[in-house]
Amino acid sequence: MKRSELNQLIKENRKFIEDNGFKLPPFAYWNIDEWKNLSDEYVEIKDCQIGWDVTDFGSGDFHKKGLFLMTIRNGCFGKYPKPYAEKIMVVEEGQVTPMHFHWNKMEDIINRGGGNLMVEVYNSIDNELDRDGDVTIYSDGRKYIVPAGSILCLVPGQSITMQQGLYHSFWGEVGKGKVLVGEVSMCNDDKNDNCFYEPTGRFSDIEEDVPAEILLTNEL
């Protein structure tokens, strides 16, 4: 990804988040100097990977395969006892987050507003897709069963629980607009806790075509 694209995406999607009535923390508005010169009071931000996270999953085409995120809060085993995390994300129409599961993290994915979020689910067997086994879904207090590979539609306000080992991929429904997506979860570790079905780069290589206006979590 180009740095100019990152800078623009942050401006556009920060406004989209605000327009949907979600209030961001103070560090969402820091400039590059504030990110570069964090005092010791903010060591938790570095240790817990808090802040902006924009990835094209190594695809080279963010709008086709990518995700825009901010980690708002997070714990860090061994340093910070907080056992939970929260993210806010923006998902574009048809923009795919690749099929993956988490080894340790359980999470709720929540449609906070905008368009509809499409979610495809499979169980895993020895890290492979279980293409035959039915999937147990937990969603807003409801437990039900769907066939492997089902695509569920979450309208604003709806959520789904992703248990450990549950393969999932998601994207915004075409024709319905961007989706504001929340995540409430156990502690998040994007460096070690993701199992992608196909080889996938979690963090983007950045072409420095213009100066950075902020730093991403993996650049701190």
pLDDT digits (tens, 9 = 90+) for 98-119: 999 999 999 999 999 999 999 9
51, pLDDT greater than 80: yes
| Integer angstrom CA distances of residue 138 from 39, 74, 113 | 42, 23, 20
| Rounded average pLDDT over 184-196 | 94
For 2, 24, 32, 35, 147, the CA distances from 212, given in Å and listed in that order, are 10, 20, 7, 11, 45
Neighbours of 122 (CB within 10 A): 23
- pLDDT mean across residues, the chain: 96
Q: Which domains does the chain have, with CATH numbers?
A: 3-219 (2.60.120.10)
Cβ–Cβ under 8 Å, residues 142 and 132 = no
Mean pLDDT of 15-32: 97
**Listed residue (2, 120, 33, 18) closest to 70, CA to CA:** 18
Q: How far apart are CA 203 and CA 54, in angstroms?
A: 8
Given this model, what pLDDT does residue 80 score? 86
Q: What is the pTM of this model?
A: 0.96
pLDDT number for residue 31: 94
What's the mean pLDDT in 179-208? 94
pLDDT band at 79 (very low <50, low <70, confident <90, very high): confident
pLDDT digits (tens, 9 = 90+) for 140-158: 999 999 999 999 999 999 9
Q: Where are the alpha helices (DSSP H) in the chain?
A: 3-19, 32-36, 43-47
10 Å CB burial of residue 159 (0-12, 13-18, 19+) is: buried
129-143 pLDDT, tens digit each: 999 999 999 999 999
